[in-house]
Chain A
């Protein structure tokens, strides 16, 4: 793992120190994870099924508590805070929006979280309106969430989390089931949230998504962090990705094979690859 010199900085929002977690069944899902997440990062936690990435994510807002080691959120021991308290700082949007939605209108759904954390009426309203505006749901704020398309249901469920105005937003496979347009719309909103300072933790196995959005990649395998690097670095080790049951995007695979004619291995997008390939032609 890369040692991080800024591990003590005040920008640190999440700090896992040798966190371990064993399920009641005896399955060791985390075998000592040390991870520092700074304010404003766009981090992807990737890994195959059973790698421990979801278990790790559930430690960030206290849904799971480490059976060994520590989790610090904003410098405070997470173990001293309830999930409801942590929810103000770390928002967690689940993969399946239908596990959340239950209200009569989008507006009610989005205000559920802010009301739960005990804010007063005007503040609940302000935050609800803001979250609805950010997720572009103003036109459908009075519609029943369950009648919406999956793309919109996912946006409502994320709105209901960002309405608590967390500093960290954990997104578990946010593009599952979305078509290209819905996914693009959602991911550009997430990009904007990140630009405005929200720390994003993307839990996924879609490497195309990671290449396009994340600034840093943590690869998990068998309950351990096997790689923690900037996004380019992560895509230059195809062997490691494959061992971690991850599928590098076609453009990365091509770049690696073309490295014999001098193409660099850390290509992330078709545009970058073509730029490298055609550089000579322009001269």
Chain B
């Protein structure tokens, strides 16, 4: 259960080795690109490129399937629902009662779906290939305050712990004949209180110890804190960075400077 909360799996691929800052930037730029591109064809090309990256990331089938299942469902939903709300343009393909389904709306639906697919998949690739700690390091390196980085890292770290604790609390209450999903609404909300209160108590106790621990480990002692692991850009990172910037810049220039419809 907790396995899927951390999507990262340790592998030795080009994408894994890439500096996390470059990866963050790449993901941001590709997301921007997905919004710049307006033509379905080019978006499909972009999606294919992203799927190629997914293959190159050698993610475990279980995790990739878990992620893609979510993305594909979302894409289908958008494709189906879009024409119901967007009824502009002609020709009308067919009508369901008062609803006119138009051809441009269907295309726009598909375009949006692919766009969202690009956007979501690329973030998943980031999570697949970058450990949470590298992500936090990259954010701190890019200027996030260390305290916030630490807070983020602590939340990542405690997600599985909390998951297990909540499971245990549920079991403990079920052993007292609690049935979470039975009874009236009032009864059900009271049922959830029996999970919520012990969870909050646990969180507060953990936070107390955590506060004492941080102080005992000299947290905030000096402003010029050092770091055991520094992330350093290598030649290959600069190459990747250049490629990524070009991938965004070329289509953007084509569209906004040369006026090409893409």
Contact = CB atoms under 8 A, between A and B. Distances in A.
A83 B179 CA distance: 9
Main secondary structure of the interface of B (DSSP, over half): helix
B201 A98 contact: yes
A15 interface: no
Given A98-B202, A102-B193, A63 B168 contact: no
B175 interface: yes
A84 B178 contact: yes
A63 B177 contact: no
B175 A83 contact: yes
A93 B173 CA distance: 10
A99 B173 CA distance: 8
B194 A94 contact: no
Contact of B175 (A25, A91, A102, A146): A91
B165 interface: yes
Given A24-B1, A99-B172, A102-B193, A84 B179 contact: yes
Nearest to A82: B179
A100 B199 CA distance: 10
Contacts of B175: 61, 63, 83, 87, 91-94, 161
B131 to A, nearest CB: 20
B174 interface: yes
Contact of B171 (A25, A63, A102, A112): A63
Contacts of A116: 176-179
A117 B198 contact: no
A117 B1 contact: no
Interface in A135-159: 146
B165 to A, nearest CB: 7
A94 B168 contact: yes
Interface in B157-193: 165, 168-169, 171-179, 193
Contacts of B174: 63, 83-84, 87
A105 to B, nearest CB: 13
A164 B177 CA distance: 9
A58 B172 CA distance: 10
B168 A101 contact: no
A52 B3 CA distance: 21
Interface residues of B, number: 22
B262 interface: no
B149 to A, nearest CB: 30
Contact of B165 (A99, A100, A117): A99
B198 A102 contact: yes
B177 A58 contact: no
Contacts, number: 68
A244 interface: no
Nearest to B168: A99
B197 interface: yes
A216 interface: no
Contacts of A113: 176-177
Contacts of A117: 177
A167 to B, nearest CB: 15
Contacts of B193: 102
A160 interface: yes
A88 interface: yes
A160 B3 CA distance: 34
A161 B176 contact: yes
B177 A102 contact: no
A99 B198 contact: yes
A100 B177 contact: no
A150 to B, nearest CB: 12
Contacts of A98: 198, 201-202, 205
A24 B168 CA distance: 16
Contacts of A102: 193-194, 196-198
Nearest to A118: B177
B176 A58 contact: no
Interface in A163-179: 164
A22 interface: no
22 contacts: A25-B3, A61-B175, A63-B174, A82-B179, A83-B174, A84-B177, A87-B175, A94-B171, A96-B172, A98-B202, A98-B205, A99-B168, A99-B198, A100-B173, A100-B198, A101-B201, A102-B193, A102-B194, A112-B194, A113-B177, A116-B177, A116-B178
Given A100-B198, A160-B176, 17 more contacts: A58-B171, A82-B179, A83-B174, A84-B178, A87-B175, A88-B177, A91-B175, A94-B172, A96-B172, A98-B201, A99-B198, A99-B202, A101-B197, A102-B196, A102-B197, A112-B176, A112-B194
